[in-house]
């Protein structure tokens, strides 16, 4: 009989599988927050990883990376370290992305992504993404409080008084504005406009940390006795959280 044989060599098939939490919820503002990205070699042989981590924007700033207990200030330096780290088939490595969240990011969703690429097979890559979702906080302040003014009868011509509305929350907000006569009306004052629009209500959108001035127009009735007093009450209420008001 005649026989022969052939040697079969299994070739390298690259595979990568980066993972990370679906969402994280740091405060806005906050600093030195971290996201752990796990790199995994799911190929059938040893490999090294190359990563890409784009700047996320949206009020979030990446300040560094931690790998094997060492801090790196750039992706280039991180990749230089990864180039000397061999991942066996099935093995993993963890990279922590360190970041700060600025003020005004509350209520937003900011994706942070890491792409892992096989060094042995550069066309093999995959991406993991974590959504950073700082909780929104709402706060509003109206000034001045308990001010007093003295006016003569206006004979139908409006006077104006200016209030300042400040958004002290960590996200942009729209406020419902309302001007009214507080207590028991004496008939001296009538509200005629809010910020130049006829009526007693309005709205204002204010960025986090910002403020705006609102002018309330009113008339003082003719024939009302000197010393008569009415109180103008001005209120701003968050549209997002109706219990936030001042």
Please list the alpha-helical segments (H only) found in the chain. Answer: 75-82
Q: What is the pLDDT of residue 184?
A: 79
Across the chain, what does the average pLDDT equal? 94
Q: 151 or 245: which carries more pLDDT confidence?
A: 245
Task: Give the mean model confidence (pLDDT) for residues 200-207.
Answer: 96
Count how many Cα atoms sit within 13 Å of the Cα of residue 182 in the half-sphere of its side chain: 8
CB 95 within 8 A of CB 66: yes
Q: How confident is the model at residue 225 (pLDDT cuts 50, 70, 90)?
A: confident
Q: What is the pLDDT of residue 186?
A: 78
Q: How confident is the model at residue 206 (pLDDT cuts 50, 70, 90)?
A: very high
Residue 14 has pLDDT above 80, yes or no: yes
Percent of the chain with pLDDT over 90: 81
CB 94 within 8 A of CB 36: yes
User: Which helix (H) or strand (E) element contains residue 129?
Assistant: strand 125-132
Q: What is the pLDDT of residue 47?
A: 97
Tokens linked to 101: 């969240």
CA 235 – CA 204 distance, rounded (Å): 12
| pTM for this predicted structure | 0.80
Using only C-alpha atoms, what is the Rg of the chain?
31
CB 114 within 8 A of CB 97: yes
Q: Does residue 37 sit in helix, strand or coil?
A: strand
Q: What is the pLDDT of residue 41?
A: 97
Q: 155 or 162: which carries more pLDDT confidence?
A: 162
Tokens 């729209």 belong to which residue?
Answer: 174
Task: Give the mean model confidence (pLDDT) for residues 171-181.
Answer: 95
Query: Edge to edge, what strands does the sheet with 49-52 contain?
Result: 23-24, 125-132, 110-118, 49-52
Q: What is the pLDDT of residue 146?
A: 87
């Amino acid at each position: 009989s005649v026989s022969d044989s052939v040697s079969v060599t299994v070739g390298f098939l690259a595979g990568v599988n980066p993972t990370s939490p679906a969402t994280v919820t740091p405060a806005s503002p906050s600093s030195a927050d971290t996201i752990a990205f796990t790199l995994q070699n799911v190929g059938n042989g040893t490999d090294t990883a190359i990563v890409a981590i784009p700047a996320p924007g949206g009020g979030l700033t990446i300040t560094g990376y931690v790998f094997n207990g060492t801090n790196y200030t750039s992706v280039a330096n991180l990749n230089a370290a990864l180039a000397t780290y061999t991942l066996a088939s099935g093995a993993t490595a963890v990279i922590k992305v360190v970041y700060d969240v600025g003020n005004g990011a509350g209520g937003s969703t900011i994706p942070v992504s890491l792409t892992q690429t096989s060094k042995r097979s550069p066309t093999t890559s995959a991406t993991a993404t974590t959504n950073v979702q700082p909780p929104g906080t709402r706060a509003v302040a109206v000034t001045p409080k308990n001010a007093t003014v003295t006016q003569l009868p206006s004979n139908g011509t409006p006077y104006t008084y200016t209030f300042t509305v400040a958004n002290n929350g960590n996200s942009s907000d729209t406020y419902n504005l309302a001007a009214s006569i507080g207590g028991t009306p004496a008939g001296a004052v009538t509200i005629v406009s809010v910020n130049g629009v006829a009526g007693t209500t309005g709205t204002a959108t204010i960025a986090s940390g910002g403020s705006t001035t609102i002018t309330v127009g009113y008339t003082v009735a003719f024939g009302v006795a000197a010393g008569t007093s009415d109180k103008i009450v001005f209120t701003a209420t968050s549209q997002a959280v109706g219990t936030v008001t001042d």
